[in-house]
């Protein structure tokens, strides 16, 4: 489930520790290929996938680093959200969290917040990463 949102973002200092990577468009297949050939076993990760969208959840030290991927982390002020590691909303985060949760009632939490295109992605039902599933997703994107 995804929902558009419009929010002003500013730099975050210090950045959050990454717990997820979100890739859209051309970056999504690059992230999938990196997962398949990476040094970490796929069992380290959970995934949410859609058309031209891949969300990878895992330990900070294990997440693959790929150009044009957005990395998300947890902010204690909004525990139901995963937020960009290097930016924060200009509005009060607890208020935005409540507003965003009202926009997607019944969503499986947490929600991944993707600025720019303005998306909320429900990632509570992320599945274990399996090579066959990642390969099938890659083939479906071609």
Q: CA angle at residue 107 from 132 to 129, to 5 degrees?
A: 15
Given a cut of 80, whether residue 3 has pLDDT beyond it is: no
- Do β-strands 111-114 and 81-84 pair in parallel, antiparallel, or remain unpaired? parallel
How many domains does the chain contain in total? Answer: 1
- Res 118: pLDDT: 81
**Percent of residues in the chain assigned helix, strand, coil, to nearest 5:** 25, 30, 45
Of 60, 62, 63, nearest to 23 by C-alpha is: 63
pLDDT, tens only, 79-100: 999 999 999 999 999 999 999 9
Given a cut of 70, whether residue 40 has pLDDT beyond it is: yes
Helices (H), the chain: 27-37, 93-103, 131-141
Q: What is the mean pLDDT of residues 12-25?
A: 97
- Do β-strands 9-11 and 87-89 pair in parallel, antiparallel, or remain unpaired? antiparallel
pTM of this structure: 0.93
Contacts of residue 118, Cβ cutoff 8 Å, sequence gap at least 6: 4, 5, 6, 7
Domain range enclosing 136: 2-141
């Amino acid at each position: 489930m995804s929902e558009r949102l419009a929010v002003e973002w500013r730099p975050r200092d210090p950045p959050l520790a990454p717990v997820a990577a979100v890739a859209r468009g051309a970056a999504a297949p690059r992230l999938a290929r990196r997962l398949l050939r990476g040094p970490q076993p796929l069992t380290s990760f959970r995934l949410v996938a859609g058309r031209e969208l891949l969300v990878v959840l895992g330990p900070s030290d294990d997440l693959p680093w790929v150009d044009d991927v957005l990395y998300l982390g947890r902010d204690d002020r909004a525990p139901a959200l995963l937020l960009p590691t290097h930016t924060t909303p200009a509005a009060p985060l607890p208020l935005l969290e409540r507003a965003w949760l009202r926009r997607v009632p019944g969503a499986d939490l947490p929600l991944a917040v993707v600025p720019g295109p303005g998306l909320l992605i429900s990632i509570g039902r992320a599945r274990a990463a399996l090579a066959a599933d990642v390969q099938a997703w890659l083939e479906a994107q071609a």
